[in-house]
Amino acid sequence: MKNLVSKRGIVFLTLFVVLTLVGMEINFSSIIGMDNQFFTLFQFFGPIAGAFLGLFGIIAVLFAELINFALVGKEVTAVNLLRLTPMLFAAYYFSRNIKTGFSDKLSIVIPVLAMIAFWSTPGGMGAWYYALFWTIPIIAKFLPDRLFFRSLGATFTAHAIGSSLWALTVPMTAAQWAFLVPVTAFERALFAIGISASFVLFTNLFNALDNLMNWDINRFIRIDRRYVLNA
């Protein structure tokens, strides 16, 4: 806490918030079923904040989302506020699942609850198999500790929350959910690759900055030395 509220800690938090706001403005693909709604570049690096800054990384994601929420001028409703949560839980998953197995039960409970919520809707029940995507975060916890598996679990955690909320609030048919199966598989694989690449990139950027400025950067953020390329 003391290190993060220092000048250098505030610099890192501010830079991440700014980077997040920029990422939210760069569209990647449209969200099927809603006009003028897009997945953005933010999907490719949002979850890594928790790995570097822990709880403060999740708070930084929330803070950036709230700023963007205000700038865009979205209506303050319970549904719109709930739609801020998928990336928060993705960041949580990514930060907590360095250890595998039952090390973090919440990461297992969340996709299970999402599946139950999805199956409670007529369209979701008709396309029950779509929710099986959300077994991926659970399975990933019991696979060997690999960055890609953790990234895949994080992006599908966000997907589980976002899609279950969508199913509960936006009427969709079973046929529409079935159509999304290959689209979802392709997009989430890309997001997982992007999250992995972003994590390696930022790990090495922070390490290079530490070597250049001699900031003892590990006092502010977590550096996983396994992914420092010249270690």
Instruction: Between 206 and 160, name the one with better pLDDT.
Output: 160
Give the Cα separation of 153 and 170 in Å (integer).
25
Residue 181 has a pLDDT of 94
**pLDDT class for 30, splitting at 50, 70, 90?**
low
Give the Cα separation of 98 and 149 in Å (integer).
10
- Lowest model confidence (mean pLDDT) among 16-30, 53-67, 81-95: 16-30
Give the Cα separation of 203 and 224 in Å (integer).
7
Res 84 pLDDT > 70:
yes
* Closest to 155 measured CA to CA, from 91, 109, 231: 91
Domain holding 140, by residue range, is 7-227
37: in domain: yes
116: in domain: yes
62: in domain: yes
* Closest to 130 measured CA to CA, from 86, 174, 87: 174
pLDDT tens digits, residue range 159-202? Answer: 999 999 999 988 889 999 999 999 899 989 989 999 999 999 98
How does 13-32 read in b/e, with b if 16+ C-beta sit within 10 Å?
Answer: beebbebbbebbeeebeeee
User: Which two three-digit tokens encode residue 40?
Assistant: 């953005």
* Closest to 12 measured CA to CA, from 225, 222, 228: 222
Give the Cα separation of 192 and 129 in Å (integer).
21
2: in domain: no
26: in domain: yes
131: in domain: yes
* Closest to 61 measured CA to CA, from 76, 37, 43: 43
Res 33 pLDDT > 80:
no
The chain-wide mean pLDDT, for the chain, equals: 82
Residue 152 has a pLDDT of 94
Total structural domains within the chain? 1
What pTM was computed for the model?
0.84
Looking at the DSSP bridge assignments, the partners of residue 73 are: none
79: in domain: yes
64: in domain: yes
Give the Cα separation of 94 and 91 in Å (integer).
5
